[in-house]
Amino acid sequence: MAGVYDFKVKDRSGNEVSLNEYAGKVLLIVNTATGCGFTPHYEPLEAMYKDLKDKGFEILDFPCNQFANQAPGDEEEIHQFCTMKFGTEFPQFAKLNVNGEEADPLFAYLATEKPFEGFGKGLKNAALKKFTEMNNKAFGDKAYIKWNFTKFLIDREGKVIARFEPTVDMGDVRKAVEDLLSK
């Protein structure tokens, strides 16, 4: 069975990067967008990265424009936005698709390992569910990711441990990361 470290992705400059370079680290893999209501997640993500990177933690940021065109810029524009507005220092990769026939194999794998289980309860979550159902109709059974800022937690062996929808409190995400780092 493949693991996360078996995949190759493109960095912001288009160079191929083996995720094996991150072997032995706890990873949080995130699909992002600069114009999304969840874009403020960059702030707690960067804080978590600064606090935990020396303990073997990495965040891998993959911009995606498949959700209401909320990441329209090119890689450099997206990078400039993230670094200037949120001071991000964690690795940002090339923009990619996470759904459909052209979905990046990494995200298809992640979503197969930890499928979507819902956005939770509450009015905001119900509204997001309706919006994502309309947006993802075009992808059919290949609608792997439901919205921007879906996060996958990977252990030091490359196994997918958890999936966090964008509606999950970032404090809960951080706690899961810290718990995994302490093992």
Catalytic sites, residue numbers:
36
| Dihedral angle over CA of 123, 140, 94, 110, nearest 10 | 80
Give the SS3 label for residue 62.
strand
Say which residue the tokens 């992808």 belong to: 139
Say if CB 22 and CB 5 are below 8 A apart: yes
Return all residues near 18 (Cβ < 8 A) that are at least 6 apart: 5, 7, 8
Tokens for 73, please give them: 């810029």
> Strand pairing partners for 62?
31
